[in-house]
Amino acid sequence: MPITGRGWELLVTRLGLQSRGHETRTYLTYQAHRDGVAIANLFGHICECPGPGDNAHRGNRKRVEAGTYELHTQFGRYRTMGYSTNLHIEADPHMPGLLLLPTGRRTGILIHPGHPPDRYLSSIGCFNPTKPLRHTDDMDYFESRARVIALIDSLHDFNPSAFQNGRSRVITGATVVVDGEPMNALPDPPPGEPLVV
C-alpha cells in the first residue's frame, strides 16, 4: 500500500512476528514523508500486537487492519501536548502520544512509547516506535519516547493550527499508512551481525 505523495505521511510496513517465550509482537519499519519526500531521521522500527489485523471487535488485543488512518492530537494518559518532560522516571505521567482514527470498533489506537511494566510490547493495538530489536529484546522507554516526540514535533511544524490544548483535533493532511498483514516468524540476524536500522 503506497503513500500518496501528498501531505505528511507515516508509512508503516509490517515485516512479520517476533516471539520470546509466550510473548509475541509484530515488528515493523516506519518512515515519515512530506509531500512524498522522506524526512531525514524520522525512521526506525515499531512494535505492535500480533495479527491478523482486526478493527471489528472492541478490545481484541490484535493489531489494527492495514489501511490509511488520519492522525489526531490526543489528551489522556498519552498526550500530544503537555506530556511529562521527566527524563529520570520512566512512564512519568503523562506520556507523549498521537491518536489514529477512524479505527472501526477499536478505540484508543495510538502511537506512544514502549514503557514499563511491559517493555516487550506496551500495546493493545497501538504502535510503539523503537530502535532495531532482536526477538528477545525489550524496548527502551526513553529511546522510544524520543521517537514519539520527534514525530509530534514534525507534525507541529507541518500543521501548527491543529496543536491546541483541550480536545483532540484532526491534524489535517497527516496520515498513517499501515502496509501488510504478515503472519510469518522473523528470524534474527546471525550472532555478531548488526541489526539493520
User: Strands 37-48 and 23-34, how do they pair?
Assistant: antiparallel
Written as one letter, the residue type at 9 is: E
Q: Which cell numbers in the block locate residue 10?
A: 507515516
Which residue ranges make up each domain of the chain? 8-179
Digitized pLDDT (tens) for each residue of the chain, 197 residues in all = 689 999 999 999 999 999 999 999 999 999 999 999 999 999 999 999 999 999 999 999 999 999 999 999 999 999 999 999 999 999 999 999 999 999 999 999 999 999 999 999 999 999 999 999 999 999 999 999 999 999 999 999 999 999 987 789 999 999 999 999 999 999 988 777 778 76
